[in-house]
């Protein structure tokens, strides 16, 4: 079994204590950090499918999430570079009612790597909290909203609406997460959408440079 396959199996099995060591071994064996990350994301897809089919339940999903997060900690220095240029502050969070944070954390990591100062509001963030953070922090240029549940898409819409009606000038809004599409982003009035963390960094740079 390849090292990446071992990482994938242990993420799927929710072995949070074993995953960091295996990720390090995979790196030491010459695997690219991006490939190891891709493998872990695939494992979460498998876990999600098993949840949908009733083979796994919420506790197992949670354990897999913890295992992946531990693996990402090891990968972080290998995924992020030193950005010379500061692009301003980005307020990021997962919208109200939604507790999923792995994708949001990856997006925050990639945005930081291209030069944003990150203010991470965490999960289950109300529209008001996003707006207050955009007003209260210095030099906010971007608000990034993540959402993984179809049931919390109305909360994303409410967040974008409130941000847009709050008189914040020079602040762009980017949205993303599995149920979000470019079409939906356009419909709710967001300035940008990205399908993954790498794409979010590219789009975010474009938005604040426009």
Contact residues for ligand B1M, defined by CB under 6 A: 41, 44-45, 47-48, 51-52, 58, 61-62, 64-65, 97-104, 106-107, 144-146, 148-151, 174-179, 194, 196-197, 200
Give the single-character DSSP code of 177. S
Describe the crossing of helices 102-113 and 58-79 by its angle, rounded to 10 degrees: 10
Instruction: Using the minimum distance from each CB to ligand B1M, give the nearer residue, 45 or 84.
Output: 45
Q: Closer to ligand B1M at the Cβ: 88 or 176?
A: 176
For residue 176, give every residue at least 6 positions away whose Cβ sits within 8 Å of its Cβ, in sequence order, or none: 103, 107, 144, 145, 146, 193, 194, 195, 196, 199, 200
Query: Which among 87, 172, 161 is positioned nearest to 128, based on CA atoms?
Result: 161
Q: Minimum distance between the CB of residue 121 and ligand B1M, rounded to whole angstroms?
A: 12
Q: Look up residue 150 and give its DSSP letter.
A: G
Which CB, 23 or 197, lies closer to ligand B1M?
Answer: 197
Least separation in angstroms between CB 210 and ligand B1M: 17
Q: Which is nearer to ligand B1M, 22 or 123 (CB)?
A: 123
User: Which tokens hold the place of 191?
Assistant: 């300035």
**Between residues 26 and 148, which has the closer beta carbon with respect to ligand B1M?**
148
Give the separation between CA 61 and CA 88, rounded to whole angstroms: 35
Closest approach, Cβ 169 to ligand B1M, in A, equals 20
Q: Which residues of 91-114 are buried (b: 16+ CB within 10 A; e: fewer)?
A: bbbbbbbbebbbbbbbbbbbbbbb
Q: Name the minimum Å distance from CB 85 to ligand B1M.
A: 20
What's the min distance (Å) between Cβ of 89 and ligand B1M? Answer: 15
């Amino acid at each position: 079994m390849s090292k990446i396959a071992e990482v994938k199996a242990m993420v799927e099995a929710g072995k949070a204590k074993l995953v960091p060591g295996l990720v390090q071994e995979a790196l030491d064996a010459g695997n690219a950090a991006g490939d190891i990350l891709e493998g872990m994301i695939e494992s979460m897809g498998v876990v999600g499918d098993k949840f949908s089919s009733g083979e796994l339940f919420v506790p197992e999903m949670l354990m897999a999430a913890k295992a992946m997060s531990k693996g990402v900690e090891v990968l972080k220095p290998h995924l992020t570079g030193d950005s010379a240029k500061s692009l301003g502050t980005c307020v990021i969070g997962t919208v109200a009612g939604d507790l999923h944070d792995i994708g949001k954390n990856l997006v925050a990591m990639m945005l930081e790597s291209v030069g944003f100062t990150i203010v991470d509001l965490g999960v289950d963030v109300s529209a008001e909290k996003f707006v207050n953070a955009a007003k209260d922090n210095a030099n906010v240029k971007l608000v990034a909203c993540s959402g993984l549940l179809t049931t919390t898409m109305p909360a994303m819409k409410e967040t974008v609406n409130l941000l847009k009606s709050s008189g914040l000038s020079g602040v762009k809004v980017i949205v993303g997460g599995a149920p979000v599409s470019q079409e939906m982003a356009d419909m709710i009035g967001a300035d940008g959408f990205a399908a993954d963390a790498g794409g979010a960094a590219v789009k975010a740079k474009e938005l604040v440079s426009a």
